[in-house]
Each structure stands twice: as structure tokens, then as C-alpha cells.
Amino acid sequence: MEPEAVSTEVMTSAPSVAPPAADIPSVPEASVLPAPEDTPIPSATPTPEPTVPAAQTPATASAPAATPTPEPPTPEPPAPEPPSVPVVTVSIDTPDGALLNAAEVPFTDGLTAEKALRAVCEAADLSVEIRSPGRRAYLVSIGGYAEFGQGTGSGWVYQHNGSLVSVGIGARTLAEGDRLRFWYTLDFGADAE
């Protein structure tokens, strides 16, 4: 006679155990517990431990498997610089400090000190007063610093590429890369640094 099969189904009501067969030992009712519906029933077979092949040493066997290190991303090459635009640099200084530090004006043929000064003052929102525009242009004031505003020797002088200039700002034609420095003097230009 064959042994009677024991049901492994989980039941929601009180468990029932099939009557013990002669060859199968009986299980006491207290040791059979219903498993919750969401919990898988564990296997009665134990999971075997991983074995280390004979050729490996214990140090090799305990070291974790090396994972390949991802290569860092290749940086993108820098964007090409835009073509250089020729400029003229203009600075405006006073005994109280700079009104404008090294502003650049795009160079064009026929650019004069007057046109460059007007361009940087407009861009920096500085007031500028020039009498007799053109070749006879005479600089009266910039940013509130006016001719004779701080004594009989006060007014504006300018340097072109580091040299003090004695011609009017409308008569000085500029070249690419030139530097202009306007200085509010208190002593007829003797204090221009």
C-alpha cells in the first residue's frame, strides 16, 4: 500500500492534517502553522555553500571579483575662440580714482580719439561734453569733472600709447591696438601719471 500524500497547500482556516499512514511519522498539530498568503514557503532543502576550486588560495577566494573601472568620459575639446576683433582701449582717470578702466572700442578706419571717447562714455552711461566736434573738438567734461571745476589748472588731458598728446581729440586718428588714457588734471597736465 502506498503512503497517503500530505497536502502542502496553505489554508486560511484551521489546518487539518491527513491521518498518519503506517510508514509516515505523524506531525503534531502545533508544529504546522499556516503561512501568510504573501510569504513564499521556504524550501526544506538547505542551500549549499559555494566551494572554492582547489587551485585557488584562500586569499584569492576571499577577494571580491574585480569589477572593471569605467573610463572617465573624454572631455569635449574647447570651443574655438571667435576671431579676434581689432580694438582700441580707453581708460578715464581722475585724482579721485578711475571713472572707466580699460574699455574696448572696436577699431574701424578713421576712428579718432573723440569717437572712441564718445563710444565708451555712452556704453558706460557717463556724461561727456565736447565743444566744436570734429577736427577742432575740445573736451570740456566727463562724468561731472569739468574744465576749471577744481581750480584754474584743472581740465582734461590725454595720452596716446603712453605719451601726452597736445592736439585735440578730434584730430588724433587711431590705429588698431592703440591705448588712450584720459586724465583729469589739477595742474595743467603736470600731475598726469
Contacts of 188 (CB under 8 A, 6+ apart): 153, 155
Strand order in the sheet with 138-142: 128-131, 138-142, 145-146
Catalogue all structural domains in the chain, each as residue range(s) with its CATH number.
87-185 (2.170.130.30)
Q: What pTM was estimated for this model as a whole?
A: 0.57
Residue 167 burial by Cβ neighbours in a 10 Å radius (0-12, 13-18, 19+): exposed
Per-residue tens of pLDDT for the chain, all 193 residues: 555 554 444 444 444 455 555 555 554 554 444 555 555 555 555 565 655 555 555 555 555 667 777 777 777 878 777 768 899 999 999 999 999 999 999 999 999 999 999 999 999 999 999 999 889 999 999 999 999 999 999 999 999 999 999 899 999 999 999 999 999 999 988 887 6
